[in-house]
């Protein structure tokens, strides 16, 4: 289980959006894409899902070149949770989740009892059994994110692509959801690529980070190596301090632009720590 893209270029109407992007995510790895609005994160997610075709470069999943794969082959391996989702027919949440199985069905095949049982198991893992009988169109935006994640988990064998999965979720549910995703990586060896806005969530949950700036990779690699105050500040174009937490993690906080740097803080140091 792996996903790789090499020298990926993508244009919208002749305007470069992604330029020479490279990415490699191994089995059981949680990779987070970080970048400002318009940096190319969503476009990269859709290229990795095979929904957008780059004009140069390649994407491979489990060793299969997406340019040579059928939609069915891709759908069985890759589950996508998009950033936004329009209303659909008033199905129960359980039925929406079971729709993830259609990628594996033949012509005129219908979901069976086993498919519904597996959908219930996944919803239980996500602490979302209370949604089972509810109308998908009438639940909150955060609840829809959970339902669509469950559908993607039911569909995909090896890879999940998540575009802003924590949108519309409160702090508690952000941590619950990302904890579940991290557990999937560790216990099932699933590859996950997720775009996030919050560098602190990336620092807490990701194994690797790829920073995108103007459609190019600014930096990529293990969280501890890549996520320095200097690099995060450069990515978001704002002064940043990195604070070590009691549990050995890290927290990034912007330094107000209208105040001097805190006394004793070396803001230009690579690790950006207090001195």
pLDDT in tens, 17-31: 999 999 999 999 999
DSSP letter at 107? T
> Which residues touch 178 (CB under 8 Å, ≥6 apart)?
165, 166, 201, 204, 205
**Residue whose C-alpha is closest to residue 48's, from 36, 33, 35:** 33
> What's the pLDDT at 106?
57
pLDDT, tens digit, 9 for 90 and up, residues 223-249: 999 999 999 999 999 999 999 888 888
Confidence of residue 205 (pLDDT cuts 50, 70, 90): very high
> What's the pLDDT at 184?
85
Backbone angle region of 38, left / alpha / beta, with phi > 0 → left and psi within -120 to 50 → alpha: left
The pTM is what?
Answer: 0.86
Task: Return the ∠ at Cα 150 (arms to 144 and 151), rounded to 5°.
Answer: 90
Whether 147 has a pLDDT exceeding 70, the answer reads yes
Contact yes or no for 209/217 (Cβ under 8 A) = no
């Amino acid at each position: 289980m792996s996903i790789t893209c090499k020298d990926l270029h993508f244009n919208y109407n002749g305007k470069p959006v992604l330029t020479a992007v490279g990415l490699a995510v191994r089995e059981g790895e949680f990779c987070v894409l970080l970048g400002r609005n318009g940096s190319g994160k969503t476009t990269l997610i859709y290229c990795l899902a095979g929904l957008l075709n780059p004009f140069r470069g390649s994407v491979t999943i489990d060793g299969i070149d997406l340019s040579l794969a059928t939609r069915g082959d891709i759908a069985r391996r890759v589950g996508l949770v998009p950033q936004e989702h329009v209303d659909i027919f008033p199905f129960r949440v359980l039925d929406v989740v079971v729709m993830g199985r259609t990628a594996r069905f033949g012509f005129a095949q219908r979901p069976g009892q086993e498919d519904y049982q597996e959908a219930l198991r996944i919803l239980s893992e996500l602490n979302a059994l209370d949604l089972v009988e509810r109308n998908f169109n009438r639940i909150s935006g955060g609840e829809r994110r959970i339902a669509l994640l469950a559908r993607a988990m039911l569909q995909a064998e090896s890879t999940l692509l998540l575009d802003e999965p924590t949108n519309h979720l409160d702090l508690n549910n952000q941590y619950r959801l990302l904890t579940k995703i991290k557990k999937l990586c560790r216990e099932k060896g699933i590859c996950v690529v997720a775009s996030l806005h919050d560098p602190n969530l990336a620092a807490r949950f990701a194994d690797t980070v790829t920073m995108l700036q103007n459609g190019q990779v600014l930096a990529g690699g293990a969280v501890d190596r890549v996520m320095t105050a200097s690099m995060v500040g450069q990515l978001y174009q704002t002064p940043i301090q990195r604070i070590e937490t009691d549990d050995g993690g890290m927290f990034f906080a912007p330094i107000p632009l209208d105040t001097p740097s805190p006394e004793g803080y070396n803001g230009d140091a690579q690790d950006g720590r207090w001195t």
